[in-house]
Structure 1
Amino acid sequence: MAIKREGRLCSFCGTSGGPGTDVDLVGGLGAQICTSCIDEFHAIVHDEERTSSVRRTMPWDRMSTTELVATLPQILASAEQNVAFAQEWVDMLRERNISWAEIGRVLGVSRQAAWERFAKKSGDKSATA
């Protein structure tokens, strides 16, 4: 199973990107970042005044209530993207014959708990493998 970038969004600005769009995304472990955000963060990191300003307050401290409310759907979309990525990762592990016991062990849960969380969505009904 190949994990694809199609339909992903930038975990920082919420812009949809990936193949078939004009927005390049890079990243891993579920988080994706577009090249525009990389450029913006690079500019901040290499400008002492901007870096100092960013360190003084968190982004949400500078946002209006309207901006905070408008950002909530982006936060949830990013979280859902990460949950979907975890599902894809488990599917890939199962395709490589990694047992539910091993998946549960690394997640700190029982084999059954791992299976209940992930198998029903992937169609893998093998509770004992």
Structure 2
Amino acid sequence: MNRCSFCKRSADDVGTLVAGAGVYICDDCVVLCAEAVKNKPAGLKRATPVWEGVDDAALIAHLPRIEAIRHLVDDDLRSWVGEARRRGISWDRVGEALGMRRQSAWERFA
């Protein structure tokens, strides 16, 4: 079952779930993201957590969510590499695209 990579709600629990490269985002999170972009402070390039506002329990509770997303991204990357190889794209080109040697790409994805 696909889930929003941000709020972790399932596709059945949201209005729309949009797929990206290894991630999904629901319509509610799109609205939140649009607000964050619209209201971002001048000069801010990347949003970072305000650590003072995150207690230890919330920080620990968030770790499994990040790990789950990492697995989704890894699975998606594996699918993309598989398609590249199915199309006959060389391990050299795959490795170069991923910033690694051919041998490393082969060991990771073959």
TM-score, normalisation: structure 1: 0.67
Cα RMSD (Å) of the superposition?
2.4
1:9 and 1:66 map into 2 onto residues whose CA distance is 23
1:46-125 alignment, distance < 5 Å: 46=38, 48=39, 51=40, 58-119=49-110
Question: Residues 114 and 35 of structure 1: is their aligned pair in 2 closer, same or farther, counting only changes over 3 Å?
Answer: same
2:2 aligned residue (8, 19, 23): 8
Structure 1 residue runs without a partner (length 5+)? 1-6, 120-129
CA contact (8 A) 1:8 1:81 kept: no
* 1:28-50 CA-partner distances (Å, limit 9, x unpaired): 2223211111122233444x5xx
* 1:50-80 CA-partner distances (Å, limit 9, x unpaired): x45xx79724431221111111110100111
Aligned length: 105
Which of the two has higher C-alpha Rg? Answer: 1
Q: Percent identity?
A: 39
CA contact (8 A) 1:9 1:78 kept: no
TM-score, normalisation: structure 2: 0.77
4+ runs deviating over 3 angstroms = 43-46
Structure 2 residue runs without a partner (length 5+)? none
